Structure 1
C-alpha cells in the first residue's frame, strides 16, 4: 500500500429523502445566501470590466484591472470555503499568483497579473451567478412555503448545479496548477524536516561531544595543577583524558556520518550502502546497478532512506536476513528493501515510515510498503533521477 498520506475528502452526501434533515437545511441556507452574494460578485465583476478594461488605454486602467482580478480571487476563495462548509464540496486551493522576477519592469508585473487564469475564471463565476442566484432564491423561498414536502429533492437538485459550478470554475485550472499547489505544501515538509535535523544535531553536539570535551578540558586542567606535586596522578589523568578524546572523536565521526558520510561523497551509493549493511544486526545482501551517480541530493535521500529502513529491520522485524536492491528505470531511481521478518509493519507505530513517506513525497518520490502479518516485508521507494552536475 502507498504510504504517502492523502487528505481525506468529504463524507458522501446522503440521498435526498422526504425528511428535513441537517443536509437539507444547510442546502436551503446556501441557496438563500446565493442572491446577496451573487449581487456582490456581479457588481464587482461589472466594476472591474467597466473601469479596468474601459480605462486600459490610460495609466490607471491596467492596475485597476489587475486589482479587480485579485479581488475576484478573494471572492472565489470565500465561495470555496462556503461550498466546503455548507455543501461538503472539497476543492483544492489554486496556486498563488506567480509574480514576475525581481528586476522586471512595471509592465511585466502587470502582465503577470493580467494572465492570471484563476482571477478570470473567478470573474466569470461572479458574472453568471446573478441570474442563477435570483432563480435559486425564488425557487427555494417558494418551496419553503408551498412545496415543502419535496423541498429536500428541490434543494438537492439546485445545489448539484452549484457544486458543478464551484468545481468547474473555482478549482485549480489544470494538472500543472495542482502540482504547484502540492509542491507548495511539500516545501513546508522539507523545511520542517530540515529544522528537525538541525535540532537533532544541536542536541547531539550539546549532550554528547560538547559535554565530553568540557569534562576533558577540566580534567586536563586538574592534571596540569598536579603535574609538579603528584606526577603519577597527573599521568593517570592524562591517560583518562586520552581515552575521552578517542570517545569524543568517535562521537563526532558518528554525528558526521549522520549528516553526510564521507564514503557516500567519495565512492557513491554502492560503497555507502554496503557500509550501512555491515552495521545491521542481520545479514544484508546489497545489489546496486546504476549507470552512473545521481545528483547529490537524490543520492543523499536514497542513502538515508535505506539507512532508516535497515535500522527498522534491526529493531523491529525479527528477521534473519535482508536485501537491498537499487537500480535505475528510465528517469526513476528505484530502491527495494526486503526482510524475512514477522511482517505487520505499518505507517504508524513509531517506525519512522510516515517520515520517510513525507520526505520522498516532498521530492516527487513514491513510497510503497507491503508487510502482511507473518512477513515478508518489502519496501519500494522511487525517486526522480537527476544526473550529477559535471
Structure 2
C-alpha cells in the first residue's frame, strides 16, 4: 500500500511561504558558504596549473601537476558533500584513478592522474567556481538584504531620527542614504505613503529573492553534476557491466533450470523406461503376458518423456516462433492460458530474432502471472512498433496490486529487460485493472 499524494498547494501560497521555507535558507547558505571554498579552490588550482606548466621544462612539473590534480579531486569530494547536505543533490563519485602495476609506484600513480579526465574536470571546476560564486553570492545576498531592509523601512523611520539623530531616508542628490545634513536636490521619504511604497518594494524583493537564489543555485547544480560526477562514458560502461552480469546470471539460471527439468523429468522417465524394458526382456520367455504389460507401461512412459522434452524445448525457444513469428506464437501461448486472452499484433516486419525471443518470453511470464495471481476474467495482449522501439502491452481485469517492488517476478523481468535497454512500466491500482507495458529496442 502506498500513501495518497499530498494535495498540491496553490502557487500564491508557495510564493508567500518561500522566504521562510527551509529550502530557501539552505540554498542561501550554500551560496554564502561556497565563496570561501571557491576562493581556496581557485588559488590552489591556479597555482598548481601555473607552477606545473612553468616547471614542465624540468622533471618537477609533472609531479606538481599530479599533486594539484589530486588536491582538486579532494576539494571536489568536499563540494559534493556540501551539495548533498545543503541541496540534497546526490552526485556519484567519479571514476577512480586506475594506476598500473603496483611495482611502478609513484610514476604509475602520476601517469594515471594526468590521464584521468575526471581529474582535469575537477581542476576546471575549481577555476570556474570562484567567478561564478562571486557573482551569484553578490546577487543573491544583495537581493535578500535589500528586500528585508526596504521592508523594514517604516521601523527605521521611527527609530533612527529618535535614537540615532539621523533624518529620514533621502533619495537623490547622488544616491540613497541616511545623513544628518539634507543633501542638495534630495527628497526625504518621511511621509506615510512614501514609507508604504518603499515597504511594498521591499516586500516584492523579499518574495522574489528566494526564487532568484534558486535560479542561481541551479547553475551550481549543473557545475557540480557535470564536472564533479562521473562522465557519461564511465556511467555507460558501469551500466553495461551491470547488464552483462545480469545477462550472465540469467543465462546461468536458465541452464540450471534446464538441467533440473531434464534430471527430474525426462531423465527420470528414461531411466524408468530402461528398467522396465530390461524387466520385460527377462520375462519375455517365461511370462509373455507380464512382459507385454511391462512394454505397454514403458510405451506410456515414452509418450510422457517426449511430451516433457517438447515442453522443455518450447521453453528454450519455441519452433512456432522461429517459423511463423510473434503473432502465431503468442496466439498459441494465449490458448494455453487459464484466462481468455485476445492477441493483437501489428507488425509489418519481424524484429531481430533476439528481441523477438525476449518479447515472447516477456508475454509468457506476464500471462503466467495473470493465470496464477490476478483472479481475472479476461486479458489482452497488444504488440506494435513505434519508431525503433517494440511496444508490448498486457492488460487484465483482475484484482490489481501488482508491483515491481519487493523482489517480485516483475522486478526480475524489469531487470532482464533493462539488460537490453528495455523498460517495464506497471499500472495496477488496488481493485484493478492491471496494465503492464514493456518497451524493447527494435534491433
Match for residue 429 of structure 2 among 372, 380, 387 = 372
Structure 1 residues 198-347: aligned runs within 5 Å: 198-347=255-404
Q: Check the 8 A contact 1:337/1:379 in 2, yes or no.
A: yes
Match of 1:170 in 2: 228
Match of 2:91 in 1: 91
SS of the residue aligned with 1:198?
Answer: helix
CA distance in 2, matches of 1:127, 1:202: 60
Q: Check the 8 A contact 2:66/2:114 in 1, yes or no.
A: no
Q: Check the 8 A contact 1:312/1:351 in 2, yes or no.
A: no
Q: Check the 8 A contact 2:423/2:438 in 1, yes or no.
A: yes
Q: CA, structure 1 residues 230+383, in 2 after alignment: closer, same or farther (shift >3 Å)? A: same
CA distance in 2, matches of 1:118, 1:343: 47
Structure of higher RCO (CA pairs closer than 8 Å, 6+ residues apart): 1
User: CA deviation digits over 1:51-93, x for unaligned, max 9?
Assistant: 9x9379x9xx99x999999978996997799779988763224
CA RMSD of aligned residues (A): 4.7
TM-score, with length taken from structure 1: 0.64
CA distance in 1, matches of 2:268, 2:68: 58
User: CA deviation digits over 1:129-163, x for unaligned, max 9?
Assistant: 9xxxxxxxxxxxxxxxxxxxxxxxxxxxxxx9xx9
Q: How far off its partner does 1:178 sit?
A: 3.4
Match of 2:3 in 1: none
Q: How far off its partner does 1:124 sit?
A: 4.9
CA distance in 2, matches of 1:384, 1:207: 37
Moved more, 347-356 or 303-312: 347-356
SS of the residue aligned with 1:336?
Answer: strand
Verify: 1:118 aligned to 2:175, yes or no. Answer: no
Q: Check the 8 A contact 2:69/2:120 in 1, yes or no.
A: no
Q: Check the 8 A contact 2:122/2:227 in 1, yes or no.
A: yes
Q: Check the 8 A contact 1:72/1:119 in 2, yes or no.
A: no
User: CA deviation digits over 1:147-204, x for unaligned, max 9?
Assistant: xxxxxxxxxxxxx9xx967545320234x55344333322222222222222211211
SS of the residue aligned with 2:401?
Answer: coil
CA distance in 2, matches of 1:376, 1:263: 31
Q: How many corresponding residue pairs?
A: 317
SS of the residue aligned with 2:282?
Answer: helix
Q: Check the 8 A contact 2:428/2:435 in 1, yes or no.
A: yes
User: CA deviation digits over 1:216-271, x for unaligned, max 9?
Assistant: 22222222222222222222111111111111111111111111111111111011
Larger Rg: 2
Match of 1:54 in 2: 56
Q: CA, structure 1 residues 249+121, in 2 after alignment: closer, same or farther (shift >3 Å)? A: same
Q: Check the 8 A contact 2:76/2:122 in 1, yes or no.
A: no
Structure 1 residues 169-188: aligned runs within 5 Å: 169-174=227-232, 177-188=234-245
Q: Check the 8 A contact 2:48/2:68 in 1, yes or no.
A: no
Q: Check the 8 A contact 1:338/1:379 in 2, yes or no.
A: yes
Match of 1:138 in 2: none
Q: Check the 8 A contact 1:277/1:284 in 2, yes or no.
A: yes
Match of 2:420 in 1: 363
Q: Check the 8 A contact 2:280/2:290 in 1, yes or no.
A: yes
Q: How far off its partner does 1:272 sit?
A: 0.6
Q: Which runs of 5+ in 2 are unaligned?
A: 1-20, 24-29, 99-110, 130-216
CA distance in 1, matches of 2:120, 2:442: 37
Moved more, 255-264 or 220-229: 220-229
SS of the residue aligned with 1:187?
Answer: helix
CA distance in 1, matches of 2:83, 2:259: 43
User: CA deviation digits over 1:312-331, x for unaligned, max 9?
Assistant: 11111111111111110111
TM-score, with length taken from structure 2: 0.57
CA distance in 2, matches of 1:86, 1:323: 48
Q: CA, structure 1 residues 114+216, in 2 after alignment: closer, same or farther (shift >3 Å)? A: farther
Q: Check the 8 A contact 1:80/1:91 in 2, yes or no.
A: no
CA distance in 1, matches of 2:83, 2:283: 76
Q: Which runs of 5+ in 1 are unaligned?
A: 1-13, 17-26, 99-110, 130-159
Structure 1 residues 24-35: aligned runs within 5 Å: none
CA distance in 2, matches of 1:75, 1:238: 79
SS of the residue aligned with 1:275?
Answer: helix
Q: CA, structure 1 residues 168+379, in 2 after alignment: closer, same or farther (shift >3 Å)? A: closer
